Chain A
């Protein structure tokens, strides 16, 4: 399998193509796509389109097709999640990073497919789109990282042309238990993984549902086409009713 990892958009992005005719130029094209997304949407780059928009150098009528599409997706997600998804920050500026990642991964997968490849994965910072089979001709096997120990996985799932995304807070477990105040209330969730028809769906709903706290997994249960696995600060996982069908036992 042809596979490469580069750091773009502030995270490791891995692309693998298992088709026999996989080429390095295909990988280069996928990474160029992510670089272009970063140049347009990075709030850390003063000359990005989003920075120009936030600084008032660009009016909402002058934005690119891509910016328009991402804004519309953010608005749609906000409406579908009872307002739990918001790209407008407290200071009034826009930070679309919560939707750009899933959108960029899905578009990368579409690009790979449009070039005739069927067996691939695109993994950007732990959000993943798979297509076809792995190098052994089997379904892609994906682990869910242990939020209390990043070297471990706590679940393994099989993904057939699906997307998976995890939202959470990695503070190495120590936020959940204060040895000097053991009676402190522990009620936060630390990780929410969503499997969806593609990584964009998985990512935008994982982000919104995580913000709902303990109720997030029930929200995922209610959305058709999505399954989820939530881990709370006590180390208890709750899964949606259809999640078990993906699990490798």
Chain B
């Protein structure tokens, strides 16, 4: 088992976070899920140009194990960033497990791998709720 010291973890975490912080404007059409089964999410947002700058809250949608709600921030008539207001976190549920009995599990900082693979496993569960909330925020922005 490898163990990272807390301070090393913290330093790497900061480096990593600055790497994933959303800096570039998003193209809204690129984040619309083409496979979403419902009409709400399936309609692409064509353009946010000409929309007044500001923060627009989307409606909250059920992501099966909790509610997802986002806020679209429009700057210069473009979708500049999306902030998640509500997100299922399981925060209220942690007390059920007895912490003193927990095993020590191996941890690592995630890193991109170049390994050749046949298949990729990934999540799709909350993407639809996210997209629906974003769509409703953009609809609000469009007036």
Tell me the A residues contacting B by CB distance below 8 Å: 7, 9-12, 42, 44, 82, 84, 89-90, 95, 97-98, 121, 123, 125-128, 130, 134, 140-150, 152-156, 164-179, 187-189, 191, 193, 207, 210-219, 221, 231, 234-241, 244, 248
**Given A10-B128, A237-B110: A98 and B35 interface contact (C-beta under 8 Å):** no
Answer yes or no: B5 CB below 8 A from chain A CBs.
no
Q: Report chain B residues within 8 Å CB of A244.
A: 106
Instruction: Give the nearest-CB partner of B15 in chain A.
Output: A235
Q: Report chain B residues within 8 Å CB of A98.
A: 64, 125
A211 near B37 with CB under 8 A, answer no
Tell me the B residues contacting A by CB distance below 8 Å: 9, 12-13, 16-17, 20-22, 31, 35-38, 62-66, 68, 70, 81-84, 87-91, 93-94, 96-97, 102-103, 105-113, 115-128, 130
Q: Report chain B residues within 8 Å CB of A90.
A: 62
CA–CA, A120 to B107, complex, Å? Answer: 32
Q: List 6 A-B contacts (CB under 8 A).
A: A42-B37, A155-B113, A174-B82, A210-B90, A217-B105, A218-B103
A169 near B130 with CB under 8 A, answer yes
B107 near A238 with CB under 8 A, answer yes
Instruction: Give the nearest-CB partner of B102 in chain A.
Output: A218
CB distance from B19 to the nearest CB of A (A): 8
The 9 closest A-B pairs by CB, nearest first: A213-B90, A168-B123, A145-B122, A10-B37, A175-B84, A156-B115, A174-B22, A173-B20, A143-B117
CB distance from A185 to the nearest CB of B (A): 9
CA–CA, A166 to B65, complex, Å? Answer: 15
Q: Report chain B residues within 8 Å CB of A193.
A: 121
Q: Report chain B residues within 8 Å CB of A145.
A: 120-123
B128 near A168 with CB under 8 A, answer no
CA–CA, A169 to B84, complex, Å? Answer: 11
Partner among B81, B82, B87 whose Cβ is within 8 Å of the Cβ of A188: B87
A153 near B22 with CB under 8 A, answer no
B123 near A166 with CB under 8 A, answer yes
* With A167-B123, A168-B126, A176-B20 already in contact, 12 other A-B pairs whose C-beta atoms are closer than 8 Å: A121-B118, A127-B121, A140-B119, A144-B122, A146-B112, A149-B20, A174-B20, A175-B84, A207-B64, A210-B125, A214-B90, A236-B108
* Residue of B9, B38, B82, B112 with most chain A CB atoms under a 10 A cut-off: B112
A128 near B21 with CB under 8 A, answer no
Q: Report chain B residues within 8 Å CB of A97.
A: 64
A153 near B13 with CB under 8 A, answer no
Q: Report chain B residues within 8 Å CB of A170.
A: 122-124, 126-127, 130
CA–CA, A80 to B73, complex, Å? Answer: 42
Instruction: Give the nearest-CB partner of B21 in chain A.
Output: A177
CA–CA, A10 to B35, complex, Å? Answer: 5
Instruction: Give the nearest-CB partner of A212 in chain B.
Output: B90
